[in-house]
């Protein structure tokens, strides 16, 4: 048996440092954040307008915030070892709903529209969650179906209609451009939601159960955790946050067609995976998913600046996703090996 | 022989099957789908105008052919508890390859072969990441779905190639002489027989079910799990590449956005056909019926004047209902089986 | 009932409990009285009704008839959560923890200490967890991730969970199956300290020596009914076995003398960093070589490396005179090597598949005709082996997961024997099998050796090793520490070699 030659004290130190859950968490999120900063710095050096122009600044903070909401919702679901492919369709529905509400109910308070978006999204998520939890059908399949259903309903509803900026009240549209202390309002709202979500998942009993369920669903069952309730909650969160994002979409872009939100499910999953939320569940944070969303969209914007046509954006996204999961795998294998070696030396 | 008592009584010879033939043939997911297909066809024939024209079959089969083709390797992949979400992107990649080579003057035969090869290469990449690096196929193929699609779009941008040799495009659109059945179905039938025989009547096929039900036990029994899955992913990519060539010829264009969303149609059809997403269960005849069922519903609705979006809604509902009911049935069977077995085991 | 009447009620009592599933009686007469401050063993063959009894206690099943009393009060649990709330904890053979979460979170999931606002108080959680581990006398870092912990440590975390719930009744279901000697000792001292705290402990095991070492009372069950309860010091192993089986079992290990032939398997200098070192030995045709040692000594790892499921760093394996390439199980099978693995359910069988499919899995390539395989041929082969091995199953496609442990093992054996191997490596041949089938398996191995098969048998049960093996190799911490001939092998020198280095070491 190999006997370590280092002193006992440093073994203990290595052991605690290595095995601490916190350490593992910190490294991934920090890494993604660092990458984001590097990308921003590098691209800005090429072209200062990337950040230091009104458009650039808005695209740096505002546009990713909308995806971030969807990614945070997706993180809730992925942490429980599920996936939600229907979020893009939900964004589309609520974006159009926003326009319709403003058109059909003149004078409706902006706050009511936000609430409506969240509630409708949450209801659509509830359907997903109920089917997954109660019928015990894999989320991949259910949300594949609801992706079809919700998008189909959306297109049927919208038809060839389209919401234009002129249809929306000015006070709503201005939300898309207003800033407080030079941070876009919508970004602030999104960040507040992010902080609330992160606090819930880290610091409440209910939040920790999400991780337990994703880490080992059978053990969670045996333990007596309310698995169904948490899974339904996760999908409701994903739906509600996507609904909120749909409202923000309308505020940011002003125009909504039947194709709004198409493909967002992939971006949200990509953002979460890049940010450290493992597809197998039980691992990762909403912070990671949020930073992942920022990284994804910022890289997309950065490509043309450094000379790569924006047609290659999706290819880059795909490469990033694959890179992230390969990295996860390499790290996990190395970690597992180290933990086993420490356990074996422990037993001597 | 020493007088040793064992738990149960004297041994009876084992019968071949635990359930009678009719139950095995009919009371299965496959039987249900085939039954549903028959019902839908009958309903459509009687209620939808123009459905009974021979053109219906032609258009239906022509459009659904890529999905039929790709569903074959997809079935095998899902049986081994993996998944390939990148198939539509590979179709696009193959289409773009064919388009670019044709546009730049290569002989068309070469371009077609290149399209199929590109699919094989894409499948190899997927297979490598899943079996050698050891990544979950869901995550990998979500990534490669984006990457391959991204490459397709990146290569052609917003352009489309539409100039293809007349003899090949008309071949793709032709029927078997004297019938309303498209010629592509010949290729499909050949492939279906190959995949069917492999799955149901070869040691390789047996190993697929074992892998899907218990990967570790399969490994311990001498099954080369990694190599087997690798082969399946390469097959999936190759068939997708071939489907991409056909797709390009059928519609006469190569664009980066070709076949968007096709992976969902394939997977929906495969699951509808009785293959379990958990692996280890499924049969080709069910899958073929599943693809035809979705195709027939779509075709009938289209003829009845229903718009594409509603057709999508209905497809989604059919998919969800089928897996929910399958899940319920499985739960029911399991509960009965364990209760019965508990009796035999006596606690 | 042979227990004396007490003036205060037992901690847990079952009286004439029965449970039926459909037309089959799983438990006809369950009786049990667990006292606080006692470690009570429950023994019986597979199928005796032990697990049904435990599941009723744990709240997984509801009894059909009879009384279930906790501290004298009648209870009727409809869920495991209710039983947990009432202070009953079950430690299963395979711990079910959350691998991605920390030890402390695993213990307190759903009940984490919180401050007034509802925010989880991690510091208190950590301190509480440390306190529990101190009481148990073990050192586990509450902040570390549970993934990668040994099964022994994981069991202790389950026990910590039970203590944090202040469980008054702890049921341990075959806890020592996967533990090394040190870990068993640690577990026993934990059990004793829990007993001294006044809790009631139930210990289910097939290992009689452990039962007598740890427990003060023994209850025997047979065929779904209660047989007897005696204090441990008033009975013997033989009497216990007799009560379990219903009659005297003359010989459990009928090893017949066989003609020993040439070397068929030769292992030379096998090494795998951190797992095993310099493993060299041979097995001859007709020989049964026993590989003894404590759990964790590396025996299964060596076997898996020889077969090819695991890899090794250096050394060689020679099969029938030709070098066997590493890491290629399919090749090993082709050349005549067979491996019956330790974990029947996870590694040996495809539980959801049928008997015939399982039995023909390893030989599927040989059943080919023109590249195709026919169900008829599979069934024919299966019937032949099922007859030989006396496998009791209704149909060829009966799902293997529904068979008893003994029958399952026979299917695995059939699978491997149908490959007509020259060498059979078998890991824990009779683990979790009733006494009757055990003897059948031993007789089978003996017959096969007599026909020229070379057998490498890994076993943690000394009587089995001593009875069956022509030669005993003992492994300790990754090395072969002794090689002892049948004539010289005694429990003492084998045990000694398994725990200490001796002069006879290679």
pLDDT at A115: 95
Given a cut of 70, whether residue B6 has pLDDT beyond it is no
Q: What is the mean pLDDT of residues C14-41?
A: 85
Taking the C-alpha atoms of residue C473 and residue C482, their distance in angstroms, rounded to an integer, is: 6
Q: B223–C330: do the CB atoms touch at under 8 Å? A: yes
The dihedral formed by the CA atoms of C329, C334, C338 and C342, expressed in degrees to the nearest 10:
20
* CB contact at 8 A, A297 and A64: yes
- The pLDDT tens digits of the residues spanning C445-500 come to 999 998 999 999 998 777 788 888 999 999 987 889 899 998 888 877 887 787 66
Touching C: B residues 4-63, CB under 8 Å: 4-8, 11-18
* Residue B343 touches chain C, beta carbons under 8 Å: yes
Q: C81–A224: do the CB atoms touch at under 8 Å? A: yes
Q: What is the mean pLDDT of residues B108-128?
A: 96
Q: Which of A12-16, A84-88, B20-24 has the lowest mean pLDDT?
A: A12-16
- pLDDT-derived band at C349, boundaries 50, 70, 90: very high
* Residue C410 touches chain A, beta carbons under 8 Å: no
Domain membership of residue B205 (yes or no) is: yes
How far apart, in Å, do the first and last CA atoms of chain B sit? 29
Residue from C34, C40, C37, C41 nearest C57 by CA: C34
Please name the residue of chain A whose CA is at the shortest distance from the CA of residue C297: A1
pLDDT at A344: 60
| Cβ neighbours of C401 in B, within 8 Å | 341
Domain membership of residue B143 (yes or no) is: yes
Assign residue C479 a region: left if phi > 0, alpha if psi is -120 to 50, beta otherwise?
A: beta
Taking the C-alpha atoms of residue B259 and residue B85, their distance in angstroms, rounded to an integer, is: 13
Surface-to-core class of residue A6, CB atoms within 10 Å of its CB (0-12 exposed, 13-18 middle, 19+ buried): exposed
Domain membership of residue B225 (yes or no) is: yes
Q: What share of chain B is helix, strand, coil (3-state, %, to 5)?
A: 75, 0, 25
Taking the C-alpha atoms of residue A345 and residue A340, their distance in angstroms, rounded to an integer, is: 9
- pLDDT-derived band at B75, boundaries 50, 70, 90: very high
Domain membership of residue B311 (yes or no) is: no
Using the CB atoms, write b or e for B313-325: b if 16+ within 10 Å: bbbbebbbebbbe
* CB contact at 8 A, B214 and B203: no
Given a cut of 50, whether residue C505 has pLDDT beyond it is no
- Give, as one character, the DSSP assignment of residue C255: P
Who has greater pLDDT, B158 or A104? A104
| Cβ neighbours of A328 in C, within 8 Å | none
Longest dimension (CA), chain B: 84
Total domains, chain B: 1
Q: What is the mean pLDDT of residues A165-175?
A: 86
- pLDDT-derived band at C411, boundaries 50, 70, 90: very high
- pLDDT-derived band at A4, boundaries 50, 70, 90: very low
Instruction: Show which subunits contact A, needing at least 3 CB pairs below 8 angstroms.
Output: B, C
Who has greater pLDDT, B334 or C171? C171
Across the interface, of C109, C141, C143, the residue whose CB is closest to A223 is C109
* A164 Cβ contact list (under 8 Å, min separation 6): A254, A255
Taking the C-alpha atoms of residue B331 and residue B341, their distance in angstroms, rounded to an integer, is: 15
- The pLDDT tens digits of the residues spanning C87-104 come to 999 988 778 899 999 999
CA-based angle A267:A271:A277, to the nearest 5? 130
- The pLDDT tens digits of the residues spanning C172-191 come to 988 886 677 788 888 899 99
| Structural domain containing residue B159 | 54-260
Given a cut of 90, whether residue B112 has pLDDT beyond it is yes
| Closest chain B C-alpha to C416 CA, distance in angstroms | 9
Domain membership of residue B342 (yes or no) is: no
Grouping H, G, I as helix, E, B as strand and the rest as coil, residue B49 is coil
Residue from C227, C445, C229, C452 nearest C320 by CA: C452
Q: C98–A225: do the CB atoms touch at under 8 Å? A: no
Interface test with B, best of A156, A318, A327 (most B CBs within 10 A): A318
Taking the C-alpha atoms of residue A338 and residue C276, their distance in angstroms, rounded to an integer, is: 18
- The pLDDT tens digits of the residues spanning B221-248 come to 989 999 999 999 999 999 999 999 999 9
Structure tokens at A138: 């894999």
Q: What is the mean pLDDT of residues A74-103?
A: 95
| Cβ neighbours of A15 in C, within 8 Å | 141, 144
Interface test with C, best of A25, A81, A211, A212 (most C CBs within 10 A): A212
Domain membership of residue B309 (yes or no) is: no
* Residue A16 touches chain C, beta carbons under 8 Å: yes
Who has greater pLDDT, A117 or B335? A117
* Residue A79 touches chain B, beta carbons under 8 Å: no
**Could you give the ipTM of this predicted complex?**
0.83
Taking the C-alpha atoms of residue C132 and residue C145, their distance in angstroms, rounded to an integer, is: 18
pLDDT at B213: 94
Across the interface, of B83, B145, B312, the residue whose CB is closest to A151 is B312
* CB contact at 8 A, C254 and C446: yes
Q: What is the mean pLDDT of residues A275-299?
A: 92
pLDDT at A12: 54
Helix count (H) and strand count (E) of chain B? 14, 2
Q: What is the mean pLDDT of residues A41-65?
A: 85
Who has greater pLDDT, A283 or B342? A283
pLDDT at C503: 38
| Cβ neighbours of A326 in B, within 8 Å | 129, 133, 135
Domain membership of residue B216 (yes or no) is: yes
Who has greater pLDDT, C62 or C434? C62
| Closest chain B C-alpha to A160 CA, distance in angstroms | 12
Q: B268–A145: do the CB atoms touch at under 8 Å? A: yes
Across chain C, what does the average pLDDT equal?
86
Place of tokens 């606690």: B347
- The pLDDT tens digits of the residues spanning C104-139 come to 999 999 888 888 888 899 999 999 999 999 888 888
Across the interface, of A149, A315, A325, the residue whose CB is closest to B140 is A325
* CB contact at 8 A, C128 and C113: yes
Using the CB atoms, write b or e for B213-240: b if 16+ within 10 Å: bbbbbbbbbbbbbeebbbbbbbbbbbbb
- pLDDT-derived band at A19, boundaries 50, 70, 90: low
Please name the residue of chain C whose CA is at the shortest distance from the CA of residue A333: C148
Q: C99–A215: do the CB atoms touch at under 8 Å? A: yes
Interface test with B, best of C352, C381, C390, C447 (most B CBs within 10 A): C352
Q: A145–B319: do the CB atoms touch at under 8 Å? A: yes
Given a cut of 50, whether residue A348 has pLDDT beyond it is no
CATH number of A56-329: 1.10.3470
Given a cut of 60, whether residue C195 has pLDDT beyond it is yes
| Closest chain A C-alpha to B120 CA, distance in angstroms | 19
Domains (range + CATH), chain C:
10-97+149-246 (3.40.50.300), 247-336+422-431+453-505 (3.40.50.300), 345-420 (no CATH)
């Amino acid at each position: 048996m190999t006997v370590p030659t280092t002193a006992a004290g440093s073994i203990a130190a290595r052991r605690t440092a290595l095995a601490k859950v916190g350490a593992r968490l910190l490294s991934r999120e920090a890494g993604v954040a660092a990458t984001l900063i590097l990308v921003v710095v590098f691209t800005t050096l090429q072209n200062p307008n990337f950040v230091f122009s009104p458009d650039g600044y808005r695209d740096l903070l505002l546009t990713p915030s909308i995806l971030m909401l969807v990614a945070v919702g997706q993180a809730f679901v992925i942490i429980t070892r599920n996936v939600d492919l229907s979020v893009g369709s939900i964004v589309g529905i609520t974006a159009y709903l926003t326009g319709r509400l403003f058109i059909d109910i003149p004078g409706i308070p902006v706050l009511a529209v936000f609430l409506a978006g969240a509630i409708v999204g949450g209801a659509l998520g509830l359907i997903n969650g109920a089917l997954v939890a109660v019928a015990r059908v894999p989320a991949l399949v259910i949300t594949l179906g609801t992706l079809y259903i919700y998008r189909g309903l959306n297109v049927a509803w919208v038809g060839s209609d389209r919401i234009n900026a002129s249809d929306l009240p000015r006070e709503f549209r201005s939300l898309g451009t207003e800033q407080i202390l030079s941070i876009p309002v919508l970004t602030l709202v999104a960040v507040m939601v992010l902080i609330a979500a992160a606090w819930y998942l880290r610091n409440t009993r209910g939040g920790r159960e999400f991780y337990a369920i994703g880490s080992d669903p059978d053990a969670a069952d045996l333990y007596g955790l309310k698995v169904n309730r948490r899974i339904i909650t996760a999908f409701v969160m994903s739906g509600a946050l996507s609904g909120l994002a749909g409202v923000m979409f309308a505020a940011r872009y002003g125009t909504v067609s039947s194709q709004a939100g198409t493909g967002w499910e992939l971006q949200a999953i990509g953002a979460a995976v890049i940010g450290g939320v493992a597809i197998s569940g039980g691992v990762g944070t909403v912070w990671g998913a949020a930073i992942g969303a920022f990284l994804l969209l910022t890289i997309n914007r950065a490509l043309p600046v450094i000379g790569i046509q924006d047609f290659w954006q999706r290819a880059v996204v795909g490469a990033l996703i694959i890179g992230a999961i390969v990295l996860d795998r390499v790290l996990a294998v190395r970690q597992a090996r180290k933990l086993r070696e420490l356990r074996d030396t422990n037993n001597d | 022989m020493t007088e040793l008592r064992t738990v149960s009584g004297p041994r009876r010879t084992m019968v071949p099957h635990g359930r009678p033939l009719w139950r095995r043939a009919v009371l299965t997911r496959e039987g249900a789908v085939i039954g549903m297909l028959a019902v839908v066809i009958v309903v459509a024939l009687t209620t939808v105008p123009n459905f009974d024209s021979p053109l219906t079959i032609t258009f239906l089969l022509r459009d659904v052919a890529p999905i039929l083709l790709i569903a074959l390797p997809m079935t095998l992949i899902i049986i081994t508890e993996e998944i390939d979400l990148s198939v539509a992107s590979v179709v696009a990649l193959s289409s773009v390859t064919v388009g670019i080579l044709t546009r730049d003057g290569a002989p068309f035969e070469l371009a077609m072969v290149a399209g199929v090869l590109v699919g094989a290469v894409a499948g190899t990449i997927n297979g490598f990441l899943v079996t050698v690096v050891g990544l979950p196929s869901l995550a990998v193929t979500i990534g490669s779905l984006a990457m391959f699609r991204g490459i397709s779009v990146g290569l052609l941008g917003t352009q489309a190639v539409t100039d293809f040799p007349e003899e090949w495009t008309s071949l793709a659109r032709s029927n078997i002489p004297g019938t309303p059945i498209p010629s592509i179905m010949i290729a499909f039938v050949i492939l279906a027989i190959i995949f069917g025989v492999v799955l149901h009547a070869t040691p390789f096929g047996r190993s697929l079910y074992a892998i899907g039900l218990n990967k570790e036990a399969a490994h311990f029994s001498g099954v080369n799990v990694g190599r087997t899955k690798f082969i399946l992913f390469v097959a999936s990519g190759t068939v997708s590449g071939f489907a991409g060539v056909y797709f390009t010829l059928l519609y006469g264009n190569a664009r980066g956005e070709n076949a968007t969303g096709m992976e969902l149609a394939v997977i929906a059809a495969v699951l509808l056909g009785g293959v379990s997403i958990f692996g280890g269960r499924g049969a080709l005849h069910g899958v073929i019926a599943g693809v035809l069922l979705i195709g027939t519903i779509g075709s009938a609705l289209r003829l009845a004047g229903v718009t594409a979006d509603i057709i999508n809604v209905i497809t989604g509902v059919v998919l969800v209902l089928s897996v929910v009911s399958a899940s319920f049935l499985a739960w029911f069977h399991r509960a009965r089986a364990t209760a019965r077995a508990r009796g035999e085991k006596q606690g | 009932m042979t227990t004396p009447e007490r003036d205060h009620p037992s901690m847990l009592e079952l009286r004439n409990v029965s449970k039926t599933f459909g037309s089959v009686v799983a438990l006809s007469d369950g009786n049990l009285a667990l006292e606080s401050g006692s470690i009570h063993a429950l023994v019986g063959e597979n199928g005796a009704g032990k697990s049904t009894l435990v599941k009723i206690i744990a709240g997984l099943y509801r009894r059909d008839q009879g009384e279930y009393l906790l501290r004298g009060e009648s209870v009727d649990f409809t869920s495991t959560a209710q039983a947990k709330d009432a202070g009953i904890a079950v430690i299963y053979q395979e711990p079910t923890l959350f691998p991605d979460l920390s030890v402390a979170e695993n213990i307190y999931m759903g009940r984490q200490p919180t401050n007034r606002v509802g925010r989880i108080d991690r510091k208190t959680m950590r301190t509480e967890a440390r306190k529990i581990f101190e009481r148990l006398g073990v050192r586990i870092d509450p902040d570390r991730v549970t993934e990668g912990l040994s099964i022994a440590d994981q069991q202790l975390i389950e026990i910590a969970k039970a203590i944090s719930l202040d469980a008054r009744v702890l049921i341990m279901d075959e806890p020592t199956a996967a533990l090394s000697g040190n870990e068993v000792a640690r577990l026993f001292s934990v059990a004793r300290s829990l007993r001294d705290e006044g809790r009631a402990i139930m210990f289910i095991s097939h290992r009689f020596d452990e039962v007598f070492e740890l427990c003060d009372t023994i209850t025997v069950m047979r065929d779904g009914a209660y047989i007897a309860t005696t204090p441990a010091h008033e009975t013997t192993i033989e009497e216990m076995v007799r009560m379990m089986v219903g009659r005297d079992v003359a010989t459990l290990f009928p090893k017949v003398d066989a003609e020993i032939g040439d070397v068929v398997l030769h292992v030379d200098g096998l090494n795998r960093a951190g797992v095993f070192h310099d493993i060299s030995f041979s097995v001859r045709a007709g020989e049964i070589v026993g590989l003894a040692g404590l759990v964790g000594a590396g025996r299964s790892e060596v076997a898996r490396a020889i077969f090819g499921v695991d890899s090794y760093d250096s050394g060689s394996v020679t099969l029938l005179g030709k070098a066997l390439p590493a890491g290629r199980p399919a090749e090993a099978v082709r050349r005549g090597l067979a491996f019956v693995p330790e974990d029947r359910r996870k590694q040996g069988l495809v539980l959801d598949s049928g008997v015939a499919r399982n039995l023909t899995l390893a030989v599927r390539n040989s059943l080919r005709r023109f590249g195709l395989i026919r169900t008829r041929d599979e069934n024919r082969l299966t019937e032949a082996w099922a007859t030989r091995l006396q496998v009791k199953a209704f149909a060829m496609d009966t799902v293997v997961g529904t068979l008893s442990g003994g029958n399952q093992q026979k299917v695995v054996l059939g699978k491997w024997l149908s490959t007509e191997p020259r060498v059979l490596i078998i890991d824990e041949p009779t683990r979790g099998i009733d006494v009757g089938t055990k003897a059948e398996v031993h007789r089978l191995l003996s017959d096969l050796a007599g026909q020229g098969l070379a057998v490498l048998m890994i076993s943690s049960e000394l009587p089995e090793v001593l009875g069956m093996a022509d030669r005993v190799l003992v492994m300790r911490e990754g090395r072969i520490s002794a090689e002892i001939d049948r004539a010289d092998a005694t429990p003492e020198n084998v045990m000694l070699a398994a725990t200490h280095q001796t002069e006879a070491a290679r």
